[in-house]
Amino acid sequence: MRQGPLAGRYPAVAAMVTLALIPYLALSAAVDPLVPIISEQLSLSAQTMSLGFGLGNAAYAVGTVLAVQFAQHLPQRRMLLAYAVVLVLGSVIAASAVNGAMFIGGHILQGLATSMLLIAAAPPLTIGFPRDKLRHTAVIMNMCVFGAVALGPFIGGAQAEALAWRPLFWIVAGVAVLALIMAALTFEDAPPADLDAPRDLRAIALASVGCAAAFIGAAQLTSHGFTDPAVIVPILGGLALIVVLIAYQFKAARPLLTVRTMLTSSIPVAGVGVALFAAAASVAATALTAEVFMQTYSPVRVGLLYLPELGGAIVMAFVFGAVISKRSMHYLPLVGMGLLAAGIVMFRLAIPANQPLALIASALTGLALGATVAPALFVAGFSLQSNSLQRVFAIIELLRAVAAFMVAPIFAHFAATAAGGLTAGAGDALWVGFGLAIGGAIFGVAVYVLSGARPQTPDLDQFLDGESPAWYSPPLLARLRPGLPAPIRVPSRDRRPTASE
């Protein structure tokens, strides 16, 4: 079997995953203050720029489904190398763009390749090494996603202050090249996952058309009203197709994505629900408040206001690593939702121009994001067999992308068109975000209570062996459905509930 010189070495594989995920995620958070500069230099309208970024986000969402399909029929590690090549090409094209078509095309390739790398590389990093590495993986995954996002506003502000955007994009391209080099050095040939698996073109089509339509509709809000057919028709149509995709995969005899098992089990539903609420709520706490602060402060100063978010994300990443093997990891997303609600309230008090409160709010938001999304997704993943982790990550990341990336332009539109101006509109949106944070916490607790689920210590050895989930997750809403058959029990270090319970 072909191997690179660093194959099987955890630090090298972890570095490869980190380098692969950071560029697009950091860029997505950094690009807002750079939009006017890019638009002017490439002769792009605000609407065209919005459409380009919307298509990049749609490509990110669709890439999760494509990566799972390719993994079934093509050598998995060779495909990972191919995805890294696409990331490099997209990054170089975007950085060297001389017109709008080049820039948008490169950005779309960046989004597509990043999500495919996530699906191809993250599950092996999670379950391909001994359990003592899992806490390090938890820290790395949290840092890759939320550390990069938290650093984005400062990087973007610094570049906007210099009236330049290409240096940042060339740095991103350089990081992508390093990711490709590490992918080659850690290469370990692996066969396709299941050559007998069906080629589910219907699922791919539903995901592609649904995500593209929804994100294009949201992007049209730059120059159209929410009720304009150019906005509402593709948004509703796209969301409807995504619902059809989930229903289709739920009923399929041999589904591409793990939907039925996930949506009929209580703990995965609670975890995914909390993650989606957190992703949507955090938009109001970051993107909208940054727009308000930009009315008073320079881009780099606004970026500095959000730098504590990075510190909060780092702290909580290590907290997550410390509790991932403990019963207390079930409580971490709930704590995170409380921190997110507190951060949103502080941001509401900070706008339009209170710097001390903004710094506190930023730190709280960083702590919150580090405690909610990734921990909630691991809680969901531990409730299923590890051999389905790639398919679970795919559908969860698709839904998270829709919740995070599509909500942002909708909130921004209503804030910008509010009768009282941007500050008043952002304040209203922050209260909506606060409601989402509280609602997400209530949702998670309610699912646990109504299903009879309880926090348990994960049996990580059992999970990593692929024998069964890390803990027992009752059927969804089991206490409201007394006619359910007794579920199959899986052995664990925790006592399982008896049939009478």
- Name the token pair of 40: 């002017």
pLDDT value, residue 145? 73
* Cα gap 346→360, rounded to integer Å: 7
Q: What is the DSSP letter of 222?
A: G
pLDDT value, residue 500? 35
* Cα gap 469→267, rounded to integer Å: 11
First CA to last CA distance, the chain: 51
Question: What DSSP string runs through 362-408?
Answer: HHHHHHHHHHHHHHHHHHHHHTS-GGGHHHHHHHHHHHHHHHHHHHH
* Ramachandran category for residue 466: left, alpha or beta (phi over 0 → left; psi -120 to 50 → alpha): left
Q: Is the pLDDT of residue 80 over 80?
A: yes
Of 133-147, 250-264, 336-350, 389-403, highest mean pLDDT: 336-350
Q: What is the mean pLDDT of residues 265-289?
A: 89
Cβ–Cβ under 8 Å, residues 203 and 257: yes
Cβ–Cβ under 8 Å, residues 411 and 435: no
Q: What is the DSSP letter of 485?
A: P
Higher pLDDT, 55 or 144: 55
Helix pair 46-73, 100-127: axis angle to 10 deg:
40
pLDDT tens digit string along 332-347? 999 999 999 999 999 9
pLDDT value, residue 1? 53
Instruction: Give Cα 206 to chain centroid, integer Å.
Output: 20
Confidence of residue 403 (pLDDT cuts 50, 70, 90): confident
Of 429, 423, 412, the C-alpha closest to 353 is 423
pLDDT tens digit string along 423-439? 999 999 999 999 999 99
Q: What is the mean pLDDT of residues 213-223?
A: 93
CA distance to 63, 394, 429, 475, per residue, from 260 (Å): 21, 14, 34, 11
pLDDT tens digit string along 364-373? 999 998 999 8
Confidence of residue 94 (pLDDT cuts 50, 70, 90): very high
Cβ–Cβ under 8 Å, residues 453 and 382: no
Of 103, 90, 93, 106, the C-alpha closest to 179 is 90
* Cα gap 189→192, rounded to integer Å: 10
**Cα-atom radius of gyration of the chain, to the nearest Å?**
22
CA distance to 69, 103, 119, 428, per residue, from 125 (Å): 19, 32, 11, 41
Question: What DSSP string runs through 127-172?
Answer: HSS-GGGHHHHHHHHHIIIIIHHHHHHHHHHHHHHTT--HHHHHHH
